Amino acid sequence: MKSLRATAIVAILLFIAASATVAMPKNARTAGNVKKEQQATRREINETKAKIRDNAARTRRKLDELNNLSARIDRHIVDIDTLHTYVTRLDSDISVVSARVAALDDSVTRFRTDLKNTLRAQRTRRRMHNNVAFVFSASNFNQAYKRMGYLSQLNQWRTGKINRLRGALQQLEIKRQQLEHLHNDKSAALARLNAGRIMLENKRTEEKTMISDLRREGTSLNALLRQKQKKARELDAELDRIIVAEQKRIAAEEKRRAEEKRKADAKRQASNGRKKDAPAAGQTGKSSATSGSGSAAAMSGEAEASRALSGTFEANRGRLLFPVAGKYTIVSVFGRSHHHSLSNIEVNNSGIDIAVAPGTQARASFAGTVSSVFFMAGFQNIVIVRHGSYLTVYAGLTGLRVKKGQAVKAGTVLGTVYTDMDGGEERTVLHFEVRHEREKLNPLEWVR
C-alpha cells in the first residue's frame, strides 16, 4: 500500500514538472537577456548619434569648402575680367604704336630717298666743279665770300638731312622695341587669360560636384544652416542688448554731466549775486564758479573729442584698415541673399565672414575704445570697439590681447582668429561687422 502511494506521488510530481515544462516558453526572457538587449540598444543609439555627428561635421566641412571655392571662383572671375581689360588696352596701345611705327617707317624711307638724291646731285656737281676752284673762280672777293657761304649752307643742309634720318631711325627703333614689348605682354596676358579660363572651368566642375554632394545631404544641410542662423540671431540679439545698455549708460552720463553743469551755473549765478553784497563771499563764489567752468570745459572737450572721433571714422569710409593682414577669402558677404551656389538656400549675414590661415591675428580697423569683451558659444570671444557713434565687431577670437575700456589704435592686435578643428578639418574664420549704433552697415563699403 505504501509503495502504491509513493508511486502515485512520484507520478503526480512528474506530471507537474512536465506541465511546468510545457507552460515555460522556449525563448523566455531572463534578466541577463534583458540586460544584453539594453546594452545593444544603447550601443545602437550611441552609434546612431555618432553617425549623425559625423554626418553633420561632414556636411559643414563640405559647405565650408563650397563657400571657399565659390569665393575663389568669384575672385577668379574678377581676375579674368581684369586680364581681359588689360589685353584690350594692350590691343589699343599696339594699334597706336603700330601706326606710329608705320609713319616713322615712311619718314625714314622719304629721308633716305631725299638724302640719296642730294648726295647724288652733290657728287655730280663735284665732278663738274671743284669746290676750291668754284670759290677762286669768283670775279671779286664779295662773290668768293658768298660762294663760301653757299658751300657752308649746302654742307649744313646735307648734315641736317643726315641727322634727321638718324633721329628718325632711332625713334623707329625705339617704337619697334616698344611694339615688341607690347606684343610680348599681350602674349603673356593671353596665356594667363587662357590658363585662368581653364582653371575656372575646372573649379566650376568641382563646385558642381560639391553642390550635388550637399544636395544629397539635404537634411543635414538644412539642420546645419538652421543652427548657423540661430547662432547668428543670438549674436545679433546679444549685440543689440549690449549696445542698448551702452546707449543708456552714455545717456545717463550725459544727463549727469548736464545736471552738474546746471548746478555749477546756478552756483556761479548765486555767487555773483552775493558778490555785489559781500566781496568776501563773492571771492568764494568766484572760486566755485571757476571750478564749475573747468568741469564744463572738460565735458565740452570730451564731447568734442567724441564728435571728432566719430567724424574721423565716417570720413574714412572706404579706407579703414582691413581687420586681418595677409591672404584672406571672404566666404560670406553682408546682407540677406540667396546662397550663390545653392539657390534654394537664403543666407542672412549682419557682417562678413573672412577665412584666413591658422594663427592669423585680428586687428582694430580704426582707433577707438574697447567697449565690450564677451564669450558666446559658436563665436568664441567677441570684441566690440567703439569709434564715437560707430562700432566694429570682431567675433571668433582666442588669445585676447585687449580688455574692456582699453584705448586702441588702428592696427592694434585684438587677438588670434580661432581655429575650429571639429570634424578633423581646420576652419579659421573671423566674423566682422560695422555698425552705426544698432544699424548694420556693409563692412566692404568701409574697409579697404
Q: Please write the tens of the pLDDT for every residue from 255-302.
A: 888 888 888 888 888 777 666 555 544 444 443 333 333 344 334 444
Least trusted range by pLDDT, from 15-19, 30-34, 178-182, 290-294: 290-294
Cα dist from 179 to 101, 193, 344, whole Å: 8, 20, 51
Least trusted range by pLDDT, from 144-158, 364-378, 430-444: 144-158
Q: Rounded mean pLDDT of 317-325?
A: 92
Q: What does the pLDDT read at residue 323?
A: 96
> d(Cα 339, Cα 211) in Å, to the nearest integer?
11
Three-class secondary structure of residue 429 per DSSP: strand
Q: What does the pLDDT read at residue 342?
A: 59
Q: What does the pLDDT read at residue 283?
A: 45
Query: Exposure of 132 by Cβ count < 10 A (0-12 exposed, 13-18 middle, 19+ buried)?
Result: exposed
> Do the beta carbons of residue 247 and residue 437 sit within 8 Å?
yes
pLDDT score of 340 more than 60: no
Say which residue the cell 559647405 belongs to: 63
**Which of 414, 437, 448 is CA-nearest to residue 316?**
448
Q: Which residue has the higher pLDDT, 97 or 275?
A: 97
Three-class secondary structure of residue 352 per DSSP: strand
Which three cell numbers, joined as nine digits, stand for 447?
574697409
Q: What does the pLDDT read at residue 365?
A: 94
Split at pLDDT 50, 70, 90, the class of 366 is very high
Split at pLDDT 50, 70, 90, the class of 307 is very low
Q: What residues form DSSP beta bridges with 430?
A: 354
Q: Rounded mean pLDDT of 37-47?
A: 68
Q: What does the pLDDT read at residue 176?
A: 83
Q: For the chain, what is the largest distance between any 2 Cα atoms, rounded to a whole number of angstroms? A: 196
Q: Which residue has the higher pLDDT, 312 or 405?
A: 405
> Do the beta carbons of residue 207 and residue 70 sit within 8 Å?
yes
226-235, 236-245, 304-313, 409-418: which is most confident:
409-418
Q: What residues form DSSP beta bridges with 417?
A: 397
> d(Cα 178, Cα 274) in Å, to the nearest integer?
89
Q: What does the pLDDT read at residue 246?
A: 85
Q: What does the pLDDT read at residue 356?
A: 93
Q: Which residue has the higher pLDDT, 421 or 62?
A: 421
Q: How many CB atoms lie within 10 A of CB 370?
A: 20
